[in-house]
Structure 1
């Protein structure tokens, strides 16, 4: 802040008074330094030398070199791609040898099955609450996964780290108290190391603050010293007068001014719509000038022209006026309406020249267009009252040398803005938006920062500084070597859920380093990113995940979107790069609970996807084999080994859908198709091979040892909960009938229950009549009862059904070939799946594309099997 722009008498020394501690020697990456300051200075200079090369890496942020370097705390954290990641990994790999010698870890550690227990974690953790962000997963929930998939000393990665909760979880696994609190009986206590990165500068900075070395006493002392100095300089801006005595402002209420549609005069929304006595806000009210009935729907905002010192020009903004103040006078709280004293004070503040205070222009986007159009807000500083902008600028100026102080500062950038909505029941911003309400609360920046000190003291834990953090696009992480990571937990962006870079504009405007959104994996019309671009970016990111993960190791991904199209694009991307999906679970966000789901295509809740990278042994078998079909059952055996044997719910055994022959076959076909191999066998041959090599129990397949374990665990429960709980597709209908027809039934007996179980089908899919499905898949005895076919007869039925489906598919193809045909509204999903598969086997890729282009787009995008064949065919025409 320049003193020649604002009265120099406002400020004390630029350096706030602090007690200097005796520096301690520091060892970092094998080098010794006299102090942390010396270490930081050395590596910042090294980072400066590396910047020209690092700028070629995808996702390099937008900002000046000095701002990027000053924000960094290298080598632990850099506000750009971190060039020291592999150096840390080399050190951590050496530590593993020491831990093995001490008996704290095994050399050949292997996790065969996914974590399948329910998890319930609340969000009221000090670390979770200290700093707001668009999405977060409570670190205790992540700890459960890390404890299951890793051992002490392992290296965990998260390329969409957000606020760094994966890193926090990895490090707190070294706290016996925290691990014991989870109740994980087999947990191996010990610190795990973490590599965290994100495309967002503010996210990576928050992650650094939560993960790097932190001295709470030193932080508290420095933060209080800053506030003490700034209060002495600028505290006068938050004073009011009560009965001739000075009082301190706790908050100020501001109201939009509107124009009456009838008489054209101004209406103060607060005065006409808010009833303070009865704590109510009216939806409709009369114009105080002409009596016309008004509501926010039929009145327009009033606009005014003001001089903006920060921009050095006049601007037009919506008119807001202060209306009421909450204050403290002689230790007592009270409220009052705005007086002349308050108006004069605000006018004095408005005359202050702030031309040397930095600000950032908003980029036009999905979220940013709202404040631009509704409020005339074009720059970051306009989200604040002038006094809060001046106060915050001064605090940031004094906090620049310490990332923990900078993050403490950014933690109030939302709550001190005009986005705070007035409510009689409390306050808060509208999450996922940059919405400025018509009646908002202005909280003094100093009060809010003071309260936040306590919040940040609660983020201290003893096992910090075992994580390294950088700023990268997950699509390309050249600074991380291949097969170097032991486990990945990640919560990436999902479709159009959240426009991260736009919503981060306010924070990043303050720190002067902003997101390069070219590789931001979202669906955003302003960025010209559709589902296709999103899927491409996610596929590239997952390809990097696959590259850096060690063979045989696991990836866990949280999926936070209810769109089937996005869900299927994620599944395709995961399988397309080589991962094998082993388990899908649902996340109940209200309770923070992960629960097993009954179908891999149901997108009813947030999901958690668990997959693994095939072992070296399996990949070697495929590489060395000319006839890939001989490896089919080897693939299935490795998959079965990685699937949960038993899931318990309400003291009953829940069927593991991934062990059903249909899902196993889908996984096999996906693997072969994505690797360009010929499809090894049809469904009937596959099921025959399953029965010859594995053991079937309750419609699921197991290895011999797994079958014994399943039988033992099943004994202690009240029975089995079947797989298919509802019918929303032909395949689900067939599975449902197989279960129901364990005991033969007549059509009239089946039909009522069938109707009860029916659910909404995918758009564009047609669920055949019950009789059609029965005739194509089941046997009708002489007594009129339908039953499951015998194994010998099932093959004949499959041939008949296949002929019927191919005949119907050819009708779709014939329709698609007509010159003026439109998209077909109703098609059978199972027929399309069968036809696409047969066309793929015949290398008839043109027919796949032709039919795909003429069915409902939603059906193609929302079915992972159709989309998989279509994507492959598109690359081969």
Structure 2
């Protein structure tokens, strides 16, 4: 297969790109830049959602088309057409879900080559790509961030022999066939130009040796031009030292005497390098702490606008410098202060951006604006502004486009580290990049680093890391825009790996504004999928934005193929929003796993009330046959069983941990029912079976093993693994509401039909701290009477109780069901009814639930403080079947938002009811 970019050695060798031939790579670049420039002049092209804000010139300067554009990439469809394989429904493809460790590889030099707010290491992604794809397949990541999915896709073809051996041995131990090595092609997209610029530099080849020379030359030229700014006189009064960093301290006033207090001078213990909690005022000796100090705002002239500007007052307190290889400390002397004053009088370099932060729309605006930091240049003290301006100017002046981009890739990493966001941390050896992650925070002590101190080591590490990373030309296409609108054909992608923004963890657009302003191209934050009250985005808005993105993923993914979603958020409400968004988009979840950091293994997630770990969601797009058959059959029982038949094929047959079989949560009959319900709701169809009708039909149609359902052809494989295991897998049940309490009782009574007195103490221990806040706690007797049967001693002993007693009591073995001794022992025991009687019970129970739901409907006044989720679920389901969407919406408005958002089933009905109502209006 040809590559997107073919070239023999040398800069002037002919190249081929998307079927076109060029005399050299510069000609290729010029050709596509001209086409992109024409596109940018088209107002319709710029009207796309998520189109970055920037001039044509700035977008063209960042881009390297057709591989990378700092706007929606108009060549993605060509890339797919050139290299993708059309979807073939007859092509055999089957994979089980795969769990991965998202923490693997965080110390790898490539991972650390450029920081980003959140990133999954490429070494954590490689096993997934190997598992789900073949060499040459198309992999997509629509929330690509710094492009690690691209690095992983190419690593599959360039991994060293030692890594390949390690993977092959691990897979062989698990009984899996060896992976097929070879690079996969990848399409990367992100809303942020800062992110896609990093991704492009990670994934597009360049001459590492040429970069090493250019980087050294850049730092040497900087030394020649502004080295004097970082000189200081040594204690001998003659030798000049090189400043590594200068510590600036915020100046406050004492509330008692109004005298100025230099925080660092007074609060820092010079020996221990720790800040005292309390310290005396240097003027009046009053006992002070940071909370008592009053901030000082000094009046300055803004060097960009010439207008008055108030900013917190900083003074230099400490200089750390080197003479030869020895490090020294000193207080700034008169010459140091004179040099600082001289630099301050110099004009602001033209390369330093002066854009205003969108303070009003920023979550962190209240942290920086009151201190006087409202524009980009405000974040750089005068000397740092001169250094950053020179660095940027020199990097942008390099004649070779690819080396120029990588120089900027290096230099932009100093933006945060040379700004006032860089905190002084006296107990740390290095003061490089000491800013708080994920937040704009200007501390009271700032370490102003020299550019060589900040970047000298970085240059060496980049050269070393990228010498070992082999990326092929033309393996990657990168686009900048919203994941809700990808310029890709339907059914064209072979696999999706994605790590989307989760809730309000990180405010990407806000945080990237500082770096993007240097490039002159900034994120369009309108379609950003986050929770942010300053942008008027709450959980429902986040969910709908995510749903649009997942719907686009569903559109472009081939039927029958997989998507891996990495989830990292501790809120159950956000987790439920993601699950509902996935289901609404048409995906079916096949497995959710969490890495157990202590055990170093995976556990399947059975409770969604508290999500404290990184989760890996494996979801699939059902094959085209299922959708077609659903359209033909409609909301029939046959469609329900067709869904189950298809769904079971995608689930893992057996999972082991430390040699023991694990319970596969997705094979639990109740979970299968939930997935089927979600499938019907997503298709705006009434659910054709009640839960007990479904469970009864499930067990009559499919074989069951250890509480899990299988296809007939899967059972032999499971039985083989079961025969090798010491014991049957155990399900973990977490009781958090009425439904899970019933599930726990069902599991308990299946194993051990018991009297009320025997059940009560066991049940009570389950009602712990995990109980949902607004959910009414049910009485045990009410749960038993509504969902189970009690043997009253008349007639023969039910077979469920007979089997338990004859197995566990020697004296009762071999007795007839009518034997008085057996009857005496069996009397008053509760047991799980057989399917026919269970359906009768369910009808009776549902009638009672709907009656109570009517009371909720009639409730007036404030919101319901306590209620039964089972009543709401039954009522919503009944209203849905009657297409009575208004009832769902009205009752939903009577319960607290968090109760709705923390229940996946209610959220699904409610969200669909809203969608149908809006569509019909």
- Report the TM-score when normalising by structure 2: 0.88
Pick aligned residue for 2:393 from 387, 394, 397: 397
Q: Secondary structure at the match of 1:562?
A: coil
Q: Secondary structure at the match of 2:526?
A: helix
Q: Deviations over 1:98-149 (max 9, x none)?
A: xx9xxxxx99351342114667614101121111111100111111111111
Q: Does the 8 Å CA contact 2:132/2:495 hold for their aligned counterparts?
A: yes
**Unmatched runs of 5 consecutive residues or more in structure 2:** 1-8, 173-177, 793-826
Output aligned runs, 1:322-721, within 5 Å. 322-354=316-348, 356-359=350-353, 360-364=355-359, 365-400=361-396, 401=401, 402-426=404-428, 427=431, 428-457=434-463, 458-460=465-467, 461-465=469-473, 466-477=475-486, 479-587=487-595, 594-599=602-607, 602-626=610-634, 628-721=636-729
Aligned residues: 845
Q: Deviations over 1:157-193 (max 9, x none)?
A: 0111000111111111113434433334431111111
Output aligned runs, 1:28-39, within 5 Å. 28-39=17-28
Q: Secondary structure at the match of 1:163?
A: coil
* 1:207 is aligned to 2:199: yes
Q: Does the 8 Å CA contact 1:744/1:785 hold for their aligned counterparts?
A: yes
CA distance in 2, matches of 1:743, 1:666: 26
Q: Does the 8 Å CA contact 1:367/1:434 hold for their aligned counterparts?
A: no
* 1:752 is aligned to 2:761: yes
Q: Does the 8 Å CA contact 1:579/1:612 hold for their aligned counterparts?
A: yes
- Tell me the residue number matched to 1:776: 786
CA distance in 2, matches of 1:670, 1:213: 45
Q: Deviations over 1:45-102 (max 9, x none)?
A: 11101112431221111111101001111110010111111222122237x99xx9xx
CA distance in 2, matches of 1:70, 1:853: 51
Say if 1:440 and 1:120 are closer, same or farther in 2 by CA, change over 3 A: closer
CA distance in 1, matches of 2:542, 2:211: 41
- Tell me the residue number matched to 1:180: 165
Q: Does the 8 Å CA contact 2:349/2:389 hold for their aligned counterparts?
A: no
Say if 1:25 and 1:876 are closer, same or farther in 2 by CA, change over 3 A: closer
* 1:845 is aligned to 2:885: yes
Q: Does the 8 Å CA contact 1:251/1:444 hold for their aligned counterparts?
A: yes
Offset at residue 248 of structure 1 (A): 0.2
Say if 1:87 and 1:38 are closer, same or farther in 2 by CA, change over 3 A: same
Following TM superposition, the consecutive aligned residue runs of length 4 or more in structure 1 with deviations greater than 6 angstroms are: 589-593
CA distance in 2, matches of 1:134, 1:361: 22
CA distance in 2, matches of 1:588, 1:502: 33
- Tell me the residue number matched to 2:847: 803
Q: Secondary structure at the match of 1:504?
A: helix
- Tell me the residue number matched to 1:856: 896
Q: Secondary structure at the match of 1:126?
A: coil
- Tell me the residue number matched to 2:126: 143
Offset at residue 232 of structure 1 (A): 0.7
**Unmatched runs of 5 consecutive residues or more in structure 1:** 1-19, 101-105
Q: Secondary structure at the match of 1:258?
A: strand
Offset at residue 755 of structure 1 (A): 2.7
CA distance in 1, matches of 2:508, 2:154: 26
* 1:278 is aligned to 2:318: no
- Tell me the residue number matched to 1:318: 312
Offset at residue 34 of structure 1 (A): 2.9
CA distance in 1, matches of 2:195, 2:635: 48
Output aligned runs, 1:108-127, within 5 Å. 108-116=91-99, 121-127=104-110
- Tell me the residue number matched to 1:731: 739
CA distance in 2, matches of 1:532, 1:167: 31
Offset at residue 484 of structure 1 (A): 1.0
Please report the RMSD computed on the Cα atoms of aligned residues, expressed in angstroms. 2.2
- Tell me the residue number matched to 1:269: 263
CA distance in 2, matches of 1:334, 1:872: 67
Output aligned runs, 1:233-248, within 5 Å. 233-242=225-234, 243-244=236-237, 245-248=239-242
CA distance in 1, matches of 2:863, 2:194: 45
Q: Deviations over 1:463-519 (max 9, x none)?
A: 333111010111112x21111111111111111111111111211121111111111
Q: Secondary structure at the match of 1:415?
A: helix
Q: Deviations over 1:387-416 (max 9, x none)?
A: 122112112112124211111111221222
CA distance in 1, matches of 2:103, 2:763: 34
Say if 1:627 and 1:850 are closer, same or farther in 2 by CA, change over 3 A: closer
Say if 1:116 and 1:491 are closer, same or farther in 2 by CA, change over 3 A: closer
Pick aligned residue for 1:80 from 64, 67, 71: 71
Say if 1:589 and 1:227 are closer, same or farther in 2 by CA, change over 3 A: farther
Offset at residue 825 of structure 1 (A): 0.7
Q: Does the 8 Å CA contact 2:564/2:618 hold for their aligned counterparts?
A: yes
Q: Does the 8 Å CA contact 1:120/1:592 hold for their aligned counterparts?
A: no
Q: Does the 8 Å CA contact 2:136/2:184 hold for their aligned counterparts?
A: yes
Q: Does the 8 Å CA contact 2:103/2:121 hold for their aligned counterparts?
A: no
Offset at residue 590 of structure 1 (A): 9.1
Q: Does the 8 Å CA contact 1:259/1:301 hold for their aligned counterparts?
A: yes
* 1:40 is aligned to 2:26: no
Say if 1:591 and 1:656 are closer, same or farther in 2 by CA, change over 3 A: closer
Say if 1:80 and 1:216 are closer, same or farther in 2 by CA, change over 3 A: same
CA distance in 2, matches of 1:435, 1:21: 47
CA distance in 2, matches of 1:517, 1:785: 61
Stretch deviating more after TM superposition (587-596 or 758-767): 587-596
